[in-house]
Each structure stands twice: as C-alpha cells, then as structure tokens.
Amino acid sequence: MQKSLLKEVIAKQSQEKEALARMEYVERTKTAKAIEWMSSPLVKVVLGPRRAGKSVFSLMLLKGKPFLYFNFDDPVLVGEKLDLYELIDELHNFYGDTIFVLFDEIQNLRGWELFANRLHRQGYNLVLTGSNANLLSMELATHLTGRHLPIEILPFDFQEFLKAKNFSQFDQKPELLKLLEQYMAFGGFPEVVIKNQHQHPRGYLDVLFDALLFKDVVKRHKVRFAEQIDQLGSYLINNISCQYSFRKLANVLKFKSDVTLEKYLTYLEEAYIVFSLSGFSAKAGERLRSPKKIYTVDNGFIASKAVQHSPDNGKLMENLVFTELVKKGFEPNRELFYYKTRNGREVDFAIRNGYQTSELIQVCYDLRDPDVEQRETKALIEAGEELKVSKLSVLTWDEEQETEKDGKTIQFKPLWKWLLDKTS
C-alpha cells in the first residue's frame, strides 16, 4: 500500500473516530468492569455482531487517553497489502507517542493474532474489536492464551434499552410493558433504539441482516452459493426456538450435503447471527447427538425476516430470555442448555453451575389456559427431580405467584421483573 494512501486512510478514519465519540452514548452494563481492566497489560478483546456498539464501547474505555486507531474494515483496504510495521510508524506520526491502541474489526487482517502478540510483547496496551465468535473460541485460545481479556458486547439488554429511552419510572407499569412490547418486537440494536428507527425498523434490520450475511459470512468465507446460505439464515430465523438436525435441514432446504449445511451453519454462528443450543445430558455423547434448538442474537431479526403475518409472542419471548441469559454471561452448551425429561417433557432452559444444574426455567407468554400451566409445571417438576434442582421458575408476561406442587416450589415471575433483576 502506498504511504500517501495509508496517510489518507489514517486521517479519514481519525475523523470517523471523532464522529463516533460524539455519538449519544448509553452506558453499557459491562462498562465498569471493562474500565477496571484497562489498567491491565492483557489484550482486551471486544467481540459481538456488527452494529451492536463495540466501537463506541471501546472508544469510551479509552476516553481521556491518547491512543492509536485503525479500522481494518475500511473498503479502501480491499486488495491492498499492508506493511504492518509501516502502519504502526504512520499511526505514531499521526497520533503521537502512546502505548494505547484500538484496532477495529481485527479479523479482517490476515495473521492478526501474530501481529497483536508482537505488539503486546513490545508493551502496547491493546483493545481489539471483532465480529467473529471464532476469535474467542479458537484463534485467541491458540495464540493469546492467558494474555487476553474477552468482553462480549451484544445488542442492548432491557436495562440498557430503558436507559436509551430515558425511562426510570418503574412504578408506571403500563408504560413499562409498552416499552417491553417494543423491545420484544424489534430488539436492542443501538441504532434501532437510539435513532428511533422503531418507526420503520424492519427495513433497517433487513439491511443489517443482509450486511452481516454478506460481509461476515459470504465474503469472509468466500461462499460460492450465497443464495443457499441466505435461504438457510432466513429459514432458521423463521423457526426460532425449534429443534433441528442437519439431515432434516438439508432435506428441507435441498442441500446436497449435510457437511456443507453444517459448515454454513457454523459460519452463521461465528458471525453472531444465530446460536445453537444443545439438550443437556450427563453423557457428552448424548449431548452431541441430541437435536439442537436455534435462537438468534436479537429479536429484531425475527421481525425483519418473518414470513408469518402476526408475531408469535411465545417464540419472541423465549428468544428474548435466551439472549438475556447469554448477556448475563451464561455460555451456551457449557452453562446453558435445554432439557428433555425421560418422559419427553421439555424445559426451555437449564442453567449449569460447575457440575450441578442450579436452575430450570420455563418461558410461557400466556398462562390463561389451565392445561398450559399444568404442562409447564409438570415438565419443571419432572426435570427438577431428575436433575436434583430446587430452583424452578416460570417466566410469564405479567403474572406473579408461588405454587407448591409435589413438594416442589415453583416461582411464576413476570418477564419485566426478571429482566430488571440484576441478581437473577
């Protein structure tokens, strides 16, 4: 890359950085802990989907500090070969002498982990952002083992959403439930929430979904059959909370190979578009063989890709609870599972704490039908006995009670109250 062009890119990106820093900022739940980590020499890695607020979050961590900044997602860089030593020299020429560095969308740089490792050894305090979950699970574990601190930034949780809406009157339940309906329907991507995109959110979310699919899946992995992976993404979003198997998906979508479908699904998971949740079993083999359930990173994608004319509030609520559990730090398929009893009754979420299951959660939007309530509680009681769990919860839209059944206590809790409870 010509030095003159590199200087132009750095100057242009500096203006973009300043514009980001001036944006309306909603303090994230993880801000306080992340600021504490800034004093650590370890590499800070901020991961999450595009447009979830990683860059602004990282800029806030570095507020008041001089730092080098470069965004590897710049279209100008496509096809250009960067001399990384020259890049560091030019960044110092522009920003001055400092040990703090923010690199945006680092996954676009081939061999980034070796470059980051080298800078870390030279004493730089690095903040890296990335839109690829694989950075966390494989590349970081391989090349920066014990030398990095991962921070996952997903779209706004409900408390962050309410901050963005300047809502603090928690005794005004009708208004609170109205906002929860909006959040459940259109999700928590910052631009939808802050810029009042909720007036026409589907268009924005549809474009965002397609951008994630193209940039972080098709382009990154050089996918030849882009239409196939688009169909897969849309199908999964329209079947949120449903179980799937690779063979069944391949048949429905007319994939010639289960292997190709599994690979494409992995790409969608790496890009933070979807999550797969395994059923819990004490036997690892059974966990691997069990059908998986599909969820998406934000309810807004369900609205943008929905084929049905009216929303399925039960599925929306279940997906919302799943994403909230992930935002609370429960790692899917390690600490978070679904569970099926020996009699085939399903519990939506089983939370693991070490070798023990600590809580079982059912999600039920509408409990007015006594048969529905009985079905949900029966599954909880059976699962509680099989897994030796005493904390049994049913999350409802707006019902609260405590029920004793077969010697077990079941807490029925409104979704809004659970979302606002920092200890839950």
Give the number of other Cβ atoms within 10 Å of residue 272's Cβ. Answer: 23
Terminal C-alpha separation, the chain: 52
Q: Is residue 322 part of a domain?
A: no
Residues 6+ apart with CB under 8 A from 173: 416
pLDDT in tens, 365-375: 998 888 888 99
The predicted pLDDT at position 244 comes to 93
Contact 153, 53 (CB under 8 A): yes
Q: Are residues 142 and 164 in the same domain?
A: no
Q: In this prediction, what percent of the chain has a pLDDT beyond 90?
A: 75
Structure confidence at residue 167 as a pLDDT band (50, 70, 90) = very high
Examine the fold and report which residue of 111, 135, 152 is the final residue of a domain before the chain moves on. Answer: 152
pLDDT greater than 60 at residue 363: yes
Q: Is residue 320 part of a domain?
A: no
The predicted pLDDT at position 424 comes to 65
C-alpha–C-alpha distance, residues 302 and 324, integer Å: 16
β-pairing, 68-71 vs 274-277, is: unpaired
Q: Are residues 285 and 420 in the same domain?
A: no
Least confident of 34-48, 129-143, 220-234: 129-143
pLDDT greater than 90 at residue 128: yes
Examine the fold and report which residue of 98, 130, 152 is the final residue of a domain before the chain moves on. Answer: 152
* Residue-number span of the structural domain to which 183 is assigned: 156-313
Q: Are residues 195 and 306 in the same domain?
A: yes
The number of folded domains in the chain is 3
pLDDT in tens, 386-399: 999 999 999 999 99
The predicted pLDDT at position 265 comes to 96
The predicted pLDDT at position 405 comes to 85
The predicted pLDDT at position 63 comes to 92
Q: Residues 327, 338, 53, CA angle at the centre, nearest 5°?
A: 20
Q: Are residues 164 and 304 in the same domain?
A: yes
Among 272, 277, 300, which residue's Cα sits nearest to residue 54?
272
Name residue, tokens 């391949």: 250
Residues 6+ apart with CB under 8 A from 124: 99, 100, 101
The predicted pLDDT at position 196 comes to 61
Q: Is residue 241 part of a domain?
A: yes
The predicted pLDDT at position 199 comes to 60
pLDDT greater than 60 at residue 198: no
Contact 413, 396 (CB under 8 A): yes
Q: Are residues 217 and 305 in the same domain?
A: yes
Examine the fold and report which residue of 152, 169, 186 is the final residue of a domain before the chain moves on. Answer: 152
Q: Is residue 329 part of a domain?
A: no
Q: b or e along 311-338 (b: 16 or more beta carbons within 10 Å of the residue's beta carbon)? A: ebeebbbbbbbbbbbbbeebebbebbbb
Q: Is residue 40 part of a domain?
A: yes
- 141 vs 55 pLDDT, higher one: 55
pLDDT in tens, 242-255: 999 999 999 999 99
For the residues 220-233, what does the mean pLDDT come to?
A: 92
pLDDT greater than 80 at residue 30: yes
In angstroms, what is the C-alpha Rg of the chain?
Answer: 23
The predicted pLDDT at position 311 comes to 81
pLDDT greater than 80 at residue 140: no
Average pLDDT of the chain to the nearest whole number: 92
Q: Are residues 189 and 271 in the same domain?
A: yes
The predicted pLDDT at position 373 comes to 87
For the residues 130-151, what does the mean pLDDT come to?
A: 79
Least confident of 134-138, 143-147, 404-408: 134-138
Provide the token pair at 291: 């059908």
Q: Is residue 265 part of a domain?
A: yes
Q: Are residues 302 and 348 in the same domain?
A: no
Q: Are residues 165 and 87 in the same domain?
A: no
pLDDT greater than 80 at residue 400: yes
Q: Are residues 195 and 146 in the same domain?
A: no
Q: Is residue 328 part of a domain?
A: no
Q: How many CA atoms lie within 13 A of 90 on its CB side?
A: 20
Q: Are residues 308 and 163 in the same domain?
A: yes
Q: Is residue 319 part of a domain?
A: no
Q: Are residues 381 and 403 in the same domain?
A: yes
Question: Residues in the chain, how many?
Answer: 424
pLDDT greater than 60 at residue 308: yes
C-alpha–C-alpha distance, residues 318 and 47, integer Å: 24
pLDDT in tens, 46-105: 999 999 999 999 999 999 999 999 999 999 998 889 999 999 999 999 999 999 999 999
The predicted pLDDT at position 283 comes to 83
Q: What is the pTM of this model?
A: 0.94
| CATH code assigned at 52 | 3.40.50.300
The predicted pLDDT at position 388 comes to 96
* 183: phi then psi, degrees, rounded to nearest 5: -65, -40
C-alpha–C-alpha distance, residues 43 and 37, integer Å: 9
Q: Are residues 124 and 163 in the same domain?
A: no
pLDDT greater than 70 at residue 309: no
